[in-house]
């Protein structure tokens, strides 16, 4: 069984005001696939992860990770325990 891929897709989509439908059309998948990825029910292929990253103009590791993302408040304000 493959490892779960964590993502920030929903957050970035909301920030950029991009619907699931428009993102799906831009990267060539069904809009439900975007929802499955956002909820962690489906790991994107490398090809799809790269297309999504390119769409947003971000490095793929800004959107997807094998490790859970730290909360943004920890990253921005340094409130994390390992700081």
Q: What is the pLDDT of residue 1?
A: 52
Position with higher pLDDT, 3 vs 61: 61
Q: What is the pLDDT of residue 20?
A: 97
Q: What is the pLDDT of residue 51?
A: 98
Q: What is the pLDDT of residue 79?
A: 58
- Tell me the domains of the chain and their CATH numbers: 6-77 (1.10.260.40)
- For the range 18-27, what are the long-range contacts, defined as Cβ-Cβ under 8 Å and sequence gap of 24 or more? 23/52, 23/55, 26/51, 26/55, 27/51, 27/52, 27/55
Note the pLDDT tens digit of each residue in 24-74.
999 999 999 999 999 999 999 999 999 999 999 999 999 999 998 887 666
């Amino acid at each position: 069984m493959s490892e779960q891929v964590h993502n920030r897709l929903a957050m970035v989509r909301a920030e950029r005001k991009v619907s699931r439908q428009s993102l799906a059309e831009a990267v060539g998948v069904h809009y439900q696939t975007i929802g499955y990825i956002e909820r962690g029910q489906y790991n994107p292929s490398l090809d799809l992860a790269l297309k999504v990253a390119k769409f947003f103009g971000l490095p793929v590791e800004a959107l997807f990770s094998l490790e859970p993302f730290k909360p943004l408040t920890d990253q921005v304000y340094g409130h994390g325990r390992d700081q």
